[in-house]
Amino acid sequence: MPQISTANFKGGISLDLPDGLFNLVEFQHVKPGKGGAFVRTKLKNVRNGAVLDRTFRAGEKVEQAIIETRELSFLYNDGDNFVFMDQETFEQLEVPAEVIGDIADYLLPEMTPALRFYGTEIVGVELPASVELTVTEVEPAVQGNRVSNATKPATLETGKVVKVPLFVNEGDRIKVDTRTGDYITRV
């Protein structure tokens, strides 16, 4: 693995530390009046999302992790695993449900999320900021219910339930924010 000096830190780089695999969220070079300079960092664990504050000596070398991002086509979910296919080699990969996490609520066959690889290990899955999904089940709006910003629960084709405005009906396509799970607009 290549090593990187703390003098070359940039936001977003990945580090392979003894504690695990981390993304550098923010850093600050500090030169106190007495003693040696140091670098104060905020690191985010790639595998579990935990945030860690860590201080390094100025000029200290750490292992840089090379994380590759590839877009793979989602094929199907067989219960415990999600099956993806590489568009170039047509190789199929099974990804455990724990790695997919909450993104499973937005995955439909033939979507192409970006999978992040550290060597051969899949360490993350990224979707676009929003996806378009069809409403499969929703209660009809009640006549006379005209309260400002009133919402009702709607079940999407993936099984996710989101709050939508009263005018959304069964069969409508809506845009949903994948980061928050909120309704954005009707398509």
What pLDDT score does 64 carry? 93
pLDDT class for 124, splitting at 50, 70, 90?
confident
Evaluate if residue 166 carries a pLDDT over 80: yes
What pLDDT score does 46 carry? 87
* Domains of the chain and CATH, by start: 3-65 (2.30.30.30), 68-126 (2.40.50.140), 130-186 (2.40.50.140)
53 vs 154: CA distance, rounded Å: 40
Q: Give how far Cα 144 sits from Cα of 42, 116, 155, Å.
A: 52, 49, 23
Evaluate if residue 148 carries a pLDDT over 80: no
pLDDT class for 144, splitting at 50, 70, 90?
low
Q: What is the mean pLDDT of residues 118-134?
A: 89
Question: DSSP strand E in the chain: where?
Answer: 3-5, 14-17, 20-30, 38-45, 51-57, 61-65, 68-77, 81-86, 92-96, 114-118, 121-126, 130-138, 151-156, 161-165, 173-177, 183-186
Percent residues over pLDDT 70 in the chain = 96
What pLDDT score does 143 carry? 64
Evaluate if residue 25 carries a pLDDT over 70: yes
| pLDDT tens digits, 42-67 | 999 988 889 999 999 999 999 999 99
What pLDDT score does 87 carry? 87
Give 100: exposed, middle or buried? Use CB within 10 Å, 0-12, 13-18, 19+. buried
Tell me the whole-structure pTM to 2 decimals.
0.76
